[in-house]
A and B are shown apart, each in its own frame.
Chain A
Amino acid sequence: MLSQEEIRKKFLETENMEEFYNWLLKNFNELPLDLQSLLFEFHLDQALTQEIQRLEFQYRFLKALYDYLREMNQTFENLKTK
């Protein structure tokens, strides 16, 4: 398991934070539990937030589409019987 000193040292040594982040991911199973948990929490929250937004939009979209189709079918039915 990586120690706090090793992680802090790597953080200070690495200029590019993307590189440091990739190093964290590469060593995920060697990270202390709370750092694993922080990474997991962040990514889970991000994925859930994005997918909820996407599905809420999809829901509104499909609902409108469905209501539209249903109403049109009804309109034509009414026209036929005129």
Chain B
Amino acid sequence: MAIERLVPEKERTRLREYGNFSFAELIRNKAFAGLIIQALWTEQGPPGKENQEIVARNKRIVETIQLIQEGKEAQFKPEDIEYIATQLTPKINEALEMAYQNVAKENSVFRPESFEWLAKLNPNFAEFLISTGLVKKEGERLVLSVDQKQAQELLIPIFAEMYIRAPERFNELRGKMETLRKLDQTIQQIERRLTEQISGALRLEEAQRQILGEIVRKSLDKKLRELATNQQNAVDDTFISSLLGEIFQGIEQDTRLPKASPGLLGRRETVSGWLKGHLGFLVGEPLAKIREKIGKGGIEEIIKGMGIENLKNFENEIRDLQNTIKSVCEDLKNIFTHEGGKFFSLLLVKGAKEGIEAMKTQVGSFVDELKDLRQFENNWNEAKGNKRNEILNNKANEIRKKGTRIMALASWLLGDELYRQLFYTIYPPKQK
């Protein structure tokens, strides 16, 4: 009897404790029973004349599992136990092993902390995870609401089931999580380098650099989310200046950064450096392209074209006018609003527009899928003859494109007859 092999033997986790359970106890465990049932369905296909015996056996196994789970007396037939042990157990073991490797191992992608992290990034996911009981709100903060073992107990069966039902989706999600992590790390590196550029001009100390980095990241995040939620319509001059305004406002309002410090502002080179650093927005690649177009003329020509007669006069004017960081920021903000944004957006608009369009392409909502299934069933019930076939074929084509998840959902929500017909439309029985 290979029932003990339902549990991965080599791992020292709570999973191992299941090894001491009796078979009936195992079956009472919703997660293991769920895995057995999913493995049964994966093997079986839809009910039909071709597989009557298999269907009858599976139905018998599921009913026995349900009775045991309800605490009633029930016995498996010996051949059913043998089938579970020899045919289903290896599949379940493999899935549990795979889920365990990805949920419980150090640095694995589906560790509970990964979901806590993702929930902090994505409010919709946070809302969903709160309903599962995995995370909770403590004031404004999101935290894991259960300990590691409890979190693993929730996640391992879910991912094991996913692995049995749709291994390609399991791998796809794992790949996406890895991509997201790498992107996040890359962005952090760039933000550090960017902050160094700005804080180099400001002569900020390391702690202040970090604060500036926080402000840049927070401002950018806020503005990008506004774009994604249509609060701002396009990446254009307005967007750029509103982003920079947000950064400057952050600098002004943050009490941890120096303000109106004579030591800082009294040094000519500091103000100059600050200006030069930030004037970087005004030239660069777009201006290089413009320069190519206008032919002769160096950077001075470009500056003249911007209405600034020469750098020295410009610096003097600014130095005379400003004596606090706040006013320097305000002035720069105006420069960006009136001049910088135009050039800056030349470089960014194309790429940004593509990015924003992609962000606006949402993957739909679960409610939409439910509505769609309801509508499909209503239409099918109302239709007759060939119209029914047309409805079935349309839905089958849609499911082929979207993948198997809708089909799995349909197996729960649609009536048996409609589900059976839909299944056969997608997977026609083999002709003998």
B382 to chain A, nearest CB (A): 15
Question: Are the CB atoms of B180 and A55 closer together than 8 Å?
Answer: yes
Give complex CA distance A71, B302 in Å.
15
Kindly identify, within residues 24 to 46 of chain A, every residue whose CB is under 8 Å from any CB belonging to chain B: 25-26, 28-29, 32-46
A35 to chain B, nearest CB (A): 6
Question: Are the CB atoms of B352 and A60 closer together than 8 Å?
Answer: yes
Give complex CA distance A37, B157 in Å.
8
Q: Indicate whether B52 reaches chain A with its CB closer than 8 angstroms.
A: no
B127 to chain A, nearest CB (A): 9
Q: Indicate whether A49 reaches chain B with its CB closer than 8 angstroms.
A: yes
Question: Are the CB atoms of B408 and A40 closer together than 8 Å?
Answer: no
> Among A8, A32, A33, which residue has the most Cβ atoms of chain B within 10 A?
A33
Give complex CA distance A10, B399 in Å.
24
Give complex CA distance A71, B69 in Å.
68
Measured CB to CB, the nearest residue on chain B to A10 is B413
By size class, the interface of chain B is 35 or more
Q: DSSP class of B's interface residues: helix, strand, loop or mixed?
A: helix
What 0/1 readout, one digit per residue, does chain B (158-189) give for beta carbons within 8 Å of chain A? 11011001100100110011011001101100
Question: Are the CB atoms of A79 and B132 closer together than 8 Å?
Answer: no
Q: Which residues of A contact B362 (CB under 8 A)?
A: 46, 50
A8 to chain B, nearest CB (A): 6
CB < 8 Å neighbour of A48 from B157, B180, B284: B180
Kindly identify, within residues 173 to 210 of chain B, every residue whose CB is under 8 Å from any CB belonging to chain A: 173, 176-177, 179-180, 183-184, 186-187, 190-191, 193-194, 197-198, 201
Give complex CA distance A29, B133 in Å.
8
Question: Are the CB atoms of A40 and B158 closer together than 8 Å?
Answer: yes
Report if A25-B183 is in contact (Cβ < 8 Å); known contacts: A37-B165, A67-B284: no
Give complex CA distance A56, B184 in Å.
9
B103 to chain A, nearest CB (A): 12
Kindly identify, within residues 3 to 19 of chain A, every residue whose CB is under 8 Å from any CB belonging to chain B: 3-4, 7-8, 11, 17-18
CB < 8 Å neighbour of A26 from B131, B201, B283, B374: B131
Give complex CA distance A73, B278 in Å.
9
By size class, the interface of chain A is 35 or more
Q: Indicate whether B124 reaches chain A with its CB closer than 8 angstroms.
A: yes
A44 to chain B, nearest CB (A): 6
Question: Are the CB atoms of B187 and A46 closer together than 8 Å?
Answer: no
Question: Are the CB atoms of B38 and A34 closer together than 8 Å?
Answer: yes
Give complex CA distance A82, B344 in Å.
26
Report if A62-B187 is in contact (Cβ < 8 Å); known contacts: A51-B180, A54-B228: yes
Interface residues of B (CB under 8 A from A): 30-31, 33-35, 37-38, 66, 69, 115, 118-119, 121-122, 124-125, 128-129, 131-133, 157-159, 161-162, 165-166, 169, 172-173, 176-177, 179-180, 183-184, 186-187, 190-191, 193-194, 197-198, 201, 220-221, 224-225, 228, 276-277, 279-285, 299, 311, 344, 347-348, 351-352, 355-356, 358-359, 362-363, 365-367, 369-371, 374, 405, 408-409, 412-413, 415
- 21 A–B pairs (Cβ distance < 8 Å), ordered by A: A1-B69, A8-B415, A21-B370, A38-B408, A39-B128, A40-B162, A42-B369, A43-B129, A47-B119, A50-B228, A52-B180, A54-B224, A54-B359, A55-B183, A59-B183, A64-B351, A66-B190, A69-B194, A69-B197, A72-B282, A72-B284
